[in-house]
Amino acid sequence: MNLSSLILASLVAGGVFGAILNSYFPTIVIPLDNYLLTPLSQAFLRLIQFVVVPIVFCSMILGLNRIQSTKKLGQYTGKLLTIYVITTTIAVVIGMIIALILQPGAGLTGFTITGETTATTQKTSIISWLINLIPVNPFEALSKGNLLQTIFSAALIGVGIQLIGDKAASLINLLEIGYAVSEKILSLILYVAPLGVFALISSVVATQGLMLLVKLFLYVLGLVTGTAIMISLYTLILFFFKAQPIHYYKSFFPAFSLGFGTASSNAALPLALQNAQESYGMSSEIASFAIPLGTALKRDGAAVLQGFNALFIAQVYHVPLSSSLILAIALSSFLVSFSTPGVPGAGVITMTTVLSAAGLPLEGVAIVAGVDRLIDGLKTVLNLIGNTTNAVILSHWEKPILSLEEGN
């Protein structure tokens, strides 16, 4: 069995084991949870958090470094980023609206947050939250694991690298090594994911009962619905630009299949580039720039997930949904989606950023981590569709210009 199958099997086994404990051995649930399941769960979460900062920091800077300084690439970048902002905003809004309509976390009992966390959620204004995005010391942001400040720091450093050009080559090489090492560490951590997933899901099912499985079904259903709506929207966009949607899906189907199987946008990148140029007929100039950039930055699957997930956790822990909290969730989900690594399980890693920004309990990750693999492949397919569709939009946007240049 491969790792993905093992994780899925661990999810099922953990759910069955937790249900058996809850139904037939209620007297041993608390000691078993306190001395075995919860420690294993916490250890797994700490291992995940170990790679959060280096992956986010390095991937953000390296993504920005792909933007070259020539005039044409500057035009491509400006247009792509404009489309990214619009479509990512739509994805975040779709995820949050579905969470508000379905209420997948409502009705669960036994989940409480500390008075300190509640006070933070109520007292922190959105203006203060925005100001706190700016770090006083970038090294402090890295050392304390403040991911939103880390993203801000990485963006400024990325701009500085662009300004000094070739002088930053050594730094870029170092960041590439750092990112590669972080990905390898993450790969190693994911090998203990079956055990961590088993402990996570069996712990919550054993202590909460089968009602949690019902709620997690609504959770998965909500994310699948959000993904389907976003894919339908991209299909309509392809129709609007007369970009032959049927031909598009046939051309990119190999890349989508690989993305679904590996749950990795990075793994599907070479095949997506090949499909774009050889099957779909996109110009190599645009494909070679837009698709790698989108692989680094465009994560519609993460955008749908993060807003939906944060509201789900708020519902589970009965946190009042103030306008400031909703705006904080929306803004942090938007920002985090652009720095989510294109590797399996990245959504679980970056959930902690949005929850922290909104003042929601990080323990909420444990509730959904077990089912993340069920939807990880689907999220990756949405990431790929969003990335390649945005490249198609740019291709049609630039078509008159390219034709004029060819005529001259």
pLDDT in tens, 219-248: 889 999 999 999 999 999 999 988 889 999
Q: What gap in Å lies between CA 134 and CA 259, rounded to an integer?
A: 35
Give the per-residue pLDDT at 214: 65
Q: What gap in Å lies between CA 73 and CA 341, rounded to an integer?
A: 23
Q: What gap in Å lies between CA 311 and CA 327, rounded to an integer?
A: 11
Dihedral-angle region of residue 318 (phi above 0 means left; psi in -120 to 50 means alpha; beta otherwise) = left
CA angle 116, 212, 361 (to 5 degrees): 20
Q: How confident is the model at residue 55 (pLDDT cuts 50, 70, 90)?
A: confident
Give the per-residue pLDDT at 140: 84
Q: How confident is the model at residue 389 (pLDDT cuts 50, 70, 90)?
A: very high
Give the per-residue pLDDT at 173: 93
Give the per-residue pLDDT at 408: 42
- The three-state secondary structure class of 211 is helix
Q: How confident is the model at residue 405 (pLDDT cuts 50, 70, 90)?
A: very low
- Count CA atoms closer than 13 A to 288's CA, side-chain side: 5
Q: What gap in Å lies between CA 396 and CA 398, rounded to an integer?
A: 5
Ranges 92-101, 320-329, 379-388: which has the least confidence: 320-329
Give the per-residue pLDDT at 133: 72
The alpha-carbon radius of gyration of the chain (Å, integer) is 22
Which residue would you say has higher pLDDT here, 5 or 34? Answer: 34
Q: How confident is the model at residue 213 (pLDDT cuts 50, 70, 90)?
A: low
* pLDDT of residue 298 exceeding 50: yes
* pLDDT of residue 290 exceeding 90: no
Mean pLDDT of 339-348: 68
* pLDDT of residue 96 exceeding 80: yes
Q: What gap in Å lies between CA 348 and CA 361, rounded to an integer?
A: 14
Q: Could you give the percent of the chain with pLDDT greater than 70?
A: 79
Give the per-residue pLDDT at 281: 85
Mean pLDDT of 86-111: 85
Tell me 317's DSSP state.
T
Give the per-residue pLDDT at 99: 93
End-to-end CA distance of the chain: 57
Give the per-residue pLDDT at 162: 79
CA angle 197, 217, 38 (to 5 degrees): 30
Give the per-residue pLDDT at 316: 85
What is 3-400's CATH topology? Proton glutamate symport protein (1.10.3860)
- Give me the residue spans of the domains in the chain: 3-400
Give the per-residue pLDDT at 403: 41
Mean pLDDT of 349-355: 79
Tell me 165's DSSP state.
G
Which residue would you say has higher pLDDT here, 355 or 55? Answer: 355
Contacts of 232 (CB under 8 A, 6+ apart): none
pLDDT tens digits, 26-37: 889 899 989 998
pLDDT tens digits, 301-317: 889 999 999 999 888 88
Contacts of 172 (CB under 8 A, 6+ apart): 62, 65, 161
* pLDDT of residue 53 exceeding 70: yes
Tracing tokens 């005529």 back to the chain, one arrives at: 407
Averaged confidence pLDDT in the chain? 79
**Residue of 182, 158, 125, 119 whose CA lies nearest to 331:** 125
Tell me 36's DSSP state.
I
Tracing tokens 């199958």 back to the chain, one arrives at: 5
Backbone angles phi, psi at 219, to 5 degrees: -60, -50
Q: What gap in Å lies between CA 149 and CA 53, rounded to an integer?
A: 10
Mean pLDDT of 69-74: 58
User: Which strand (E) or helix (H) includes residue 330?
Assistant: helix 323-337
Distances (CA, A) of 245 to 204, 231, 385, 388, 392: 43, 11, 11, 12, 11
Q: What gap in Å lies between CA 391 and CA 84, rounded to an integer?
A: 10
* pLDDT of residue 401 exceeding 60: no
Give the per-residue pLDDT at 366: 74
Which residue would you say has higher pLDDT here, 118 or 91? Answer: 91
